[in-house]
Structure 1
């Protein structure tokens, strides 16, 4: 939106200071919109009029000192020239205040604007009247707002104004924004305020959370009944951390209750008092770094001696990396052979982290998200993490908000979408600064946060509250143990939201299958079609799909099938064979039965079933790519849940509501349907518990399954009857074809 007076200010700069080569002021676009380019030009013009030779975009100490020495304050009696006044008037307009007619006169309109500016800044009591004092001038020549913007909080703004008014005359305290939003500048001003109240002199107080500040806060606990400036500072810190309290000088019982809630949220002693650990957590992201965490992460192999060290130190959860693409750098970063067995043996639990680089914005893209998700899932399967483990994908740099919007959110959306395509074998977490963690989680791309709070200077940590879904809070690096048990770790506070895994699949006895190589597509299709035609399968004219269409569907979901087979340590040819065979035999009669299921549960024949002859109410049917019924889906997944192979809730296979819910999923969600096939094979091998006719258990599908075992588990999928053995014999050569091409790829 064009502002006529800002437009006039731009024209004034262009006309008066058009010699950009000399002053470093580029020709401004005359668009009536303010911005840093305009403010930089005004700053250089002001410096030029003050006689400063080395002009700069920055309104720094030299400019402030020159202003103080030459004029003390700016008003109608001290302003040195009409040009100087026009610069001030232009800056006022760029801030949204009435600067008069940009005519070089410090008029009543300018005075009223300055008075309003001082009031909005919160310094009107300290500097009454219509004069501009040097620090106010510095605040005028930037892009900070002094009124609430973008849904800013009125309470936060009152805190910002209070800080400005109380501490503006201290040497290193400058006007902070009063826009209703917490920020890096506000966080630093809070620390300066603490230091000033502790009695630190100018030059000593520096806005850092150092030993003097820590020592001072330990003697300034506030609690119920207390009052005064320390309570104001404490309630201000609570408000800035988005706790539902009032900015007040009185410590009430209601405040104590909210303090207890905050302490419980951060896993510090919930005593309702503003003690040192609470002050620390409010003022700096890492809080009290002397806290002993129950979680840690590191780049060092957990040996038996190191596991004993961790156990003795009170650690329960260990974060370890799934992958390290380098063969020379950090040789123990990736989980090492036998390490997870050691972690289990010593009663520890492990949560996986995925990071190869992730240290700058140019790493993040949609394509990278796909690659990282596939690599992370496949490595998690290789190392032995069971389905349901949460993998933390990293944002290991100071990601500003614009980076999060433009690059990191699309990357995590891509990770989430790819994990869904894999059948969601693993949950997704995010490691990173507070802002990135919160925004990614709010979008639903991660369900837990591993917060890099140790990086307290990150702009993504300063001014941002702890993510609501935090699982681990990384606060300090430390070395513990001695001798062979010596280990350097990052000490993390655990919220209990994620407890990692304490039991793992053993190392694979043979190579796991990997993704299909499309170069073999034509050869695979030819062999499959020739074999199926040779046995007259599926036969008839009532089939929905051609052999080619069925195979294309199976291979289009190769990533999900690969991931599911790797997770459960079975050959993916077993899944491919069963799913392809059932898909080929999907008939119009199956569609009619499907329509009957919808009719039974909703009372309405679906649009796609209207016109089909013989649609009658049916409780359940075998449906979807692999022709799975709601009942067998429940029974097989229940079996895996009880065996610890799958996360989820045990359902009632006899309950209409549960069968209908699962039927809809296997009917409509191809990935869910296909990733249920391994559970059907496991259930079949376990003896089909809950089925009408249970069978004798056999060894569960594994990478070294014999031909006899493969035949038997194929025979049990999905039904009983006299034809099952004949059908299984027909499927065995089909299994051999899929396995032939899978073996070529995995052994390449």
Structure 2
């Protein structure tokens, strides 16, 4: 919603500073909405008015120091010009305070606003009155809130105000938000506060959980009856970790909360604020001297290493299902015979799946689906039994917005595929916020938390996820000689113990692989075009088109476009074919055909269903009816081929919508329909050795029965042969 006074502030910047050119920025949108662009512009305007020549978006040390050096504090007696005052007034409006009329006058309205700002920040005891002191000005020129927002906690806001009020005069402590939410800045401010109370001087205190801070905390155990600042700091840390205790003195209620927290975190349950409890509250990795019983690593578990790990008290070992690199970390992937060694030494293994997963652009529903199929296959290859939880990695500091936009849809694809196509469970490896949000969305049963990365924004300010299974806190070396191995040391919650026995590994020889598009796309297209022309299907148009039809507008797809669409989903056709142990051309051929033959009648039928004029029609890439999809999926479920609840005719609207909008769901349904069609015609389930005659019969049944279906089968067999030729070349 637009705010008139914010809009006036934006207009002031544009009119006063040559549409931003004077400040080195673009003209502001005069939309009345506060945001970083306007705050950056105001910061630059403030710098300009102070005579700073190197303007910056950042309200950094130079800007802060200049205010103190030139003015001491800002008020009606020190503000040097009307425009300087207008900048301050504009900033007040952008923070939700009354800045007067943006008229260059530090009047009573502005003074009242500054008094309120100081109170909201919690610094009015240090800075009484209506003057703006340098650190308060810095806090004014950012997007931090100083009132409770977005269902924030009033108790957390009280803690934030308390920290500001107590430590604002320390050199490296700046105003933190007072919005009722824990955050990176609040977490760092807590470490500064601890260091200040330990007696560290300015310049020594640095907000890092280093040896001096750790040593000091070891002599500051708090317990029932403790009062004063150490009790306040400890209870603040508890509250910030979402523990429902009162802020202030260490009462019996606090002791009870501490015992619960210690039990949850697998700390010794003492009910006291001892060093290990302090550490777990203040930094994600906690006390790194803690000895875990789980580990993970990129080194093969040999008999000597297995014995060393067992002797050191380790029971559960995380190992990677797959290594996409052929040159880096040669032992990262589970090696032949390794799981047998793990079993023989009485250890267990929990599998991890990771390819790249180190930036937001890796994550998508399609990539999640592809990863899930590959993880299933590798888990079966290594012999992991149903019920095993596979941990899928998010191995970078994903911002919260990236979790929403990229990571959650990715895990939705993983969960749907793992749930439908295997007996495995889904786990997530990553920072605390990633793990908790994936768990809250229902996409992971357990979390493997990358807590060693304590500086990650997804760890700072977030508590240990509620469904944590393994907590990765340190890298250490175990054993000596041939048994020496470097591992990541993990605390175990008891939610997952991995697997201690394994099935014989599955054989994936002879299955289809991804098509080598660079080598074969053009030749494949040329051969498909030639074949289709030979049976009367040109590059564009077709039997249901009038000569003057606007072919593309009406929904038509050329042969070239149809081939490229099928190749864009080659990963999915390959995954389904490998999972179902059949030739992927059997799934590709009807999809390619139906894409190419799409016509105005198909478009009209879809619109009729969307408008509620019809209940069902063939739709999507494979032109499937919802009712037959329901029959096919129910059959496959009954045969134990896929998992899921039985579908009924009541599900037709939902199934049709998925078929229409989601090509992945549509293509999967084509694959399941192929198996169902074999059942309907009394043929063997399709396999790697299905004969040409059986293949033609299956393709014919895709179009029903009768003469038209028989013709369909003959035509599609030729298309199948073109596709299979290049699939065969790719698999070698």
**Contact map agreement 2:367 2:410 (CA 8 A) in 1:** yes
Contact 1:221 1:273 (8 Å CA) reproduced: yes
The aligned residue for residue 236 of structure 2 is 236
User: CA 1:189/1:624 → structure 2, altered by over 3 Å: closer, same or farther?
Assistant: same
Question: Contact (CA 8 Å) 2:446, 2:467: kept in 1 or not?
Answer: yes
Paired residues of 2:292 and 2:490 also in contact (CA < 8 A): yes
Q: Where in structure 1 are there 5+ consecutive unaligned residues?
A: 523-556, 566-570, 577-606, 609-622, 638-645, 649-660, 678-702, 704-739
Asked whether the equivalents of residues 381 and 505 of structure 2 are also in contact (C-alpha less than 8 Å), the reply is yes
Q: Could you tell me how far apart the structure 2 residues matched to 1:379 and 1:506 are?
A: 13
- 1:558 and 1:131 map into 2 onto residues whose CA distance is 68
2:419–2:643 CA contact under 8 A, matched in 1:
no
Match of 2:455 in 1: 457
Match of 2:365 in 1: 366
Is the alpha carbon distance of 1:353 and 1:250 closer, same or farther for their aligned partners in structure 2, counting shifts above 3 Å? same
Structure 2 residue aligned with 1:334: 333
Matches within 5 A, 1:645-684: none
Q: How does 1:29-108 map to 2 (within 5 A)?
A: 29-108=29-108
Q: Does the residue aligned with 1:219 lie in a helix, a strand or coil?
A: coil
Encode CA deviations 1:562-611: one digit per residue, 9 max, x unaligned: 6777xxxxx779xx9xxxxxxxxxxxxxxxxxxxxxxxxxxxxxx99xxx
Q: 3-state DSSP class of the match of 1:327?
A: coil
Aligned to 1:267: 266
2:495 — aligned with what? 497
- Residue 301 (structure 2) aligns with: 302
Tell me what 1:144 maps to: 144
Distance 1:496 1:225 in 2: 33
Q: Is the 8 A contact 2:636 2:672 kept in 1?
A: no
Distance 1:68-1:310 versus aligned 2 partners, 3 A rule: same
SS at match of 1:505: coil
User: Once the 2 structures are TM-superposed, how far is the Cα of residue 663 of structure 1 from its aligned partner?
Assistant: 11
Structure 1 segment 532-611 matched on structure 2, within 5 A: none
Match of residue 476 from structure 1:
474
Q: Deviations over 1:170-192 (max 9, x none)?
A: 00000000011111100000000
Q: Give the C-alpha shift of residue 47 in structure 1.
A: 1.1
Counterpart Cα distance in 2 of 1:465 and 1:86: 42
Q: Quote the Cα distance in structure 1 between the aligned partners of 2:277 and 2:479.
A: 29
Q: 2:192, 2:444 → 1: CA distance?
A: 36
Give the superposition deviation at 1:25: 3.4
The within-5 A match list for 1:499-518 is 499-508=497-506, 511=509
Partner deviation per Cα, 1:532-556 (whole Å, 9 max, x = no partner)? xxxxxxxxxxxxxxxxxxxxxxxxx
Q: Does 1:293 align with 2:292?
A: yes
Distance 1:408 1:353 in 2: 17
Quick check: 1:428 aligned with 2:458?
A: no
Larger Rg: 1
Q: 1:745 to 1:308 in 2, by over 3 A?
A: farther
- Segments ≥4 residues shifted beyond 4 Å: 512-517, 557-565, 623-630, 661-665, 667-671, 743-748
User: Deviation of residue 94 (structure 1)?
Assistant: 0.6
1:11 paired with 2:11, answer yes
Distance 1:23 1:13 in 2: 9
Residue in structure 1 matched with residue 163 of structure 2 by the alignment: 163
Q: CA-to-partner distance for each residue in 1:1-40, whole Å, 9 max, x for gaps?
A: 1111111111111111116444313211111111111111
Look up the match of 1:201: 201
Map 1:339-358; keep pairs closer than 5 Å: 339-358=338-357
TM-score using structure 1 length: 0.72
Q: Report what 2:598 is aligned to.
A: none
Residue 714 of structure 1 corresponds to none
Distance in 2 between residues matched to 1:353 and 1:364, nearest whole Å: 17
Q: Distance in 2 between matches of 1:626 and 1:162?
A: 60
- Give the 3-state SS of the residue equivalent to 1:450 in structure 2: strand
Indicate the SS of the match to 1:318. strand
Q: Is the 8 A contact 1:43 1:56 kept in 2?
A: yes
SS of 1:12 mapped into structure 2: helix
For the Cα contact (< 8 Å) 1:11–1:30, is it kept in 2? yes
For residues 564 and 52 of structure 1, do their structure 2 counterparts lie closer, same or farther at Cα, with a shift above 3 Å needed? closer
Inter-CA distance 68–516: structure 2 relative to 1 (3 Å threshold): closer
Q: Which residue is equivalent to 2:569?
A: none
Aligned in 2, Cα 1:190/1:198: closer, same or farther, shift over 3 Å? same
Q: Distance in 2 between matches of 1:627 and 1:20?
A: 63
SS at match of 1:350: strand
1:322/1:111 CA distance change after superposition, 3 Å? same
Are the equivalent residues in 1 in contact too, given 2:155–2:180 (CA < 8 A)? yes
Q: Is the 8 A contact 2:320 2:333 kept in 1?
A: yes
Match status 1:191 vs 2:155: no
**Cα distance in 1 between the residues matched to 2:643 and 2:251:** 45
Shift of 1:431: 0.4
1:116 match: 116
Q: Secondary structure at the match of 1:205?
A: coil
Structure 1 CA distance for aligned equivalents of residues 85 and 193 of structure 2: 34
Work out whether residues 425 and 564 of structure 1, in 8 Å CA contact, stay in contact via their aligned partners in 2.
no
Give distance in 2, aligned partners of 1:647 and 1:24: 59
Cα 1:86–1:340 change in 2 (3 A) is same
Give the whole-Å Cα distance in 2 for the aligned partners of 1:143 and 1:628: 56
SS at the partner of 1:319? strand
1:387 corresponding residue in structure 2:
386
Corresponding residue for 1:536?
A: none
* In structure 1, C-alpha distance between the alignment counterparts of 2:357 and 2:214, rounded to whole Å: 33
Q: Does the aligned pair in 2 maintain the 1:382–1:512 contact within 8 Å?
A: no
CA 454–647 in structure 1, closer or farther in 2 if over 3 Å, else same = farther
Question: 3-state SS of the aligned residue for 1:473?
Answer: strand
Residue 18 of structure 2: SS of its match in structure 1? Answer: coil
Report matched runs for 1:628-707 at 5 Å: none
SS in 2 for 1:445: coil
SS in 2 for 1:64: helix
Aligned residues: 581
Distance in 2 (alpha carbons) for counterparts of 1:626 and 1:238: 49
State the distance in 2 between where 1:626 and 1:24 align.
61
1:658 is matched with which residue? none
The aligned residue for residue 561 of structure 2 is none
Contact kept, 8 Å, 1:430 with 1:448, in 2: the verdict is yes
Tell me the TM-score normalized by structure 2: 0.73
Shift of 1:92: 0.4
**Equivalents in 2 of 1:223, 1:277: separation in Å?**
14
Offset of residue 69 of structure 1: 1.0
| Distance change in 2, residues 1:250/1:572 (3 Å) | same
The reply to whether residue 176 of structure 1 matches residue 176 of structure 2 is: yes
C-alpha contact (below 8 Å) 1:25/1:44 kept by paired residues? no
Instruction: Tell me what 2:699 maps to.
Output: none
